[in-house]
Amino acid sequence: KYEKIWLTFGIGCLFVFLTVVGVSAFAEGNQPPSCLTTIDPEKVDQTPPFNKPGLVKTGNNEYQLNMVASAFTFTPNQIEIPKGAKVTINITSKDVIHGFEVAGTNVNMMVEPGYVNSFTKTFNQPGEYTIVCNEYCGAGHHMMYGRIKVV
Ligand code: CUA
């Protein structure tokens, strides 16, 4: 008899817990902002869109910038973006954790092997921006950078 009460209580608790988790995830958008997709880090070169990294036009003034980080470089390394373009940056790593920061902007992401991290940014300000890796990733960390040119 007691067992039945405890079982009911247990299931009740589980239900409440799941409801709380579910509601907070959906209603409050509680999911992590990045780590949208998983990817096999050893097969990045064969996995679209990272088999052809670069800027892709996806709509009127909208672009996708697919990038690969690896010790100690970003691919592509020099990117030209039309002024006013809304760019969704997707980035993954082939080896260790890197950082992806576009100096002077709010673009700042972790780049983790096994995950694709994304961030959307509209580049309104023409100029040259430096991409830096801001996570220590090894001996060549300080040399790991790239350039975005907004024209
Ligand atoms: Cu890549 Cu530090």
Q: What is the pLDDT of residues 99-110, one digit of tens each?
A: 999 999 999 999
Measured from the CA of 135, which atom of ligand 1 is nearest? 2
Cα(104) to centroid(ligand 1), Å = 18
pLDDT given for residue 29 in this prediction = 55
User: Do 117 and 137 contact (CB within 8 A), yes or no?
Assistant: no
pLDDT given for residue 10 in this prediction = 77
Which parts of the chain register pLDDT below 50?
31-32, 34-35
Nearest to 93 by CA among 28, 44, 149, 129: 44
Measured from the CA of 96, which atom of ligand 1 is nearest? 1
pLDDT given for residue 35 in this prediction = 45
Cα(17) to centroid(ligand 1), Å = 39
d(CA 64, CA 61): 10
Protein residues whose CB sits closer than 6 Å to any atom of ligand 1 = 72, 98, 133, 135-137, 141, 144
Percent residues over pLDDT 90 in the chain: 75
